[in-house]
Amino acid sequence: MKIWTAVVLCFFYSAGSAQNAGLKIGQAVKILEADLQMKHAMLSLYIVDSKTGKVVFDKNAQVGLAPASSLKVVTSAAAMELLGKDYRYQTEFGYDGNIEGNILKGNLFVKVSGDPTLGSWRWDSSKAEIILDQLTATLRANNITVITGNLIIDDSKWETQATPRGWTWEDIGNYYGAGARGFNWHENQYDLMLAPGKNEGDSVKILWTDPELQASVLVNELKTGRPGSGDNTVIYLPEDGVIGYVRGTVPAAVSTFRISGSMPNTSNAFTNAVEKSFLNNNIHLAGRTKNAVIYFTNNEKLPVAANHFFSVHSPPLDSINYWFLQKSVNLFGEAFVKTIAFEKTGYGSADSGISIIKEFWKERGIESSALKITDGSGLSPANRVTTHTLVTVMQYARKQSWFASFYNALPLQNGIKMKSGYIGGVRSYTGYIKSRSGTAYTFSFIINNFDGSPGAVREKMWKLLDILK
């Protein structure tokens, strides 16, 4: 009887605590809405008791807003369920023709799978030098020093457009704007090393790129900014572009400054790396690199690798997902979208992947009109998602076998496990909070079209969320 009484009291205490939190949040929201930064803004906040699902607070929870990177939880949870946390990409290396003595009389093939980790520096097994060493070691083991044919990248099962619809011209050329291809290399990213001038307004020198850009030229319009002004650069270079422009400022008072861009053509970067590796190992490739587009453009039949050399397997999906959420790697999310399409339809396309993801969530109670998305990472300002949708996704994740991995991948910010999002005029947070009294909350908080400093808005949002602790 005493135990039952304690349980009942605990229940009422928890319910009272949640009710109290709701009242305090409501008062804080009114104060925030009266803030000058919010004069023309839209705020949406939805909070539920994680255990019971009972609504603690609702302000505009059914209004679709631009979510920025908080959208990543939608893609992440769908990928964990549709692909599985142990899913691995497989890239196959093979050849056609015959090996005669030390000569491969045929083509060398790379059959791709959309693996976004190939050549990535985040895992030892995926690093560029490891992949290249494995390729040269395999050729040496077969006594091959001459390849008479081409290096063929078979990306025929993936769409040619890397960049999702809705991404802005200002984002596409920068590292975070790297789209997903059938063949991805070094996270489709290069670093640009710069030498600022001594004084504000001085010109800036481009020292080098790593990896080297191939078949593309950057027009340097950079200027030196004031000391401590940080990275205020934009790289304007479209996918498969030949000429790009680097504009903005980098700070004075430093000898070098590094920024990063998205590779306009990953095949070229890979080929250059392969050629250097072959040169160091006395292997000669007589032909050139060709992908599926070149064959289709020339009305030629794409050759097929009749023989297998080896396969490269990616880290498991839950490991990729960790970096997707922790460091907000947009490439990984867009790869997940196309991979879902490939596994379900046999062809990796963004539109198909988005449709499958929307249908997946529709079957779990989320209306299509509450999930209007054009990408998987949230970089597009055209996305519109409700906070009710984001909380529904987070509540669904809590009940799945892969939740521990999903939860671990969420960044810890302001003492809260949550995914953040930020693009022009947008701040968002979606995650889980546990109060000192033991009540667990699931929430989503979005503000669109605020005025002034994004940092100031962040601090105000964090202060409001602190009420739930």
Q: What is the pLDDT of residues 270-282, one digit of tens each?
A: 999 999 999 999 9
The tens digit of pLDDT for each residue in 190-207 reads 999 999 999 999 999 999
Q: Give the pLDDT score at 13.
A: 47
**pLDDT confidence band for 132 (50 / 70 / 90):** very high
Q: What is the pLDDT of residues 42-101, one digit of tens each?
A: 999 999 999 999 999 999 999 999 999 999 999 999 999 999 999 999 999 999 999 999
Q: What is the pLDDT of residue 11?
A: 47
Residue 1 has pLDDT above 60, yes or no: no
What's the mean per-residue pLDDT of the chain?
A: 95
Read off the pLDDT of residues 384-403 as tens digits, 9 standing for 90 and up.
Answer: 999 999 999 999 999 999 99
pLDDT, tens digit (0-9, with 9 covering 90-100), for 399-435: 999 999 999 999 999 999 999 999 999 999 999 999 9
Q: What is the dihedral of CA 446, 447, 449, 453, to 10 degrees?
A: -120
305-315 confidence digits (pLDDT tens)? 999 999 999 99
Query: What's this model's pTM, rounded to 2 decimal places?
Result: 0.94
What value, to the nearest 5°, has the Cα angle with vertex 93 and ends 90 and 98?
150
pLDDT bracket for residue 14 (50, 70, 90): low
Digit-coded pLDDT (tens) for 342-395: 999 999 999 999 999 999 999 999 999 999 999 999 999 999 999 999 999 999
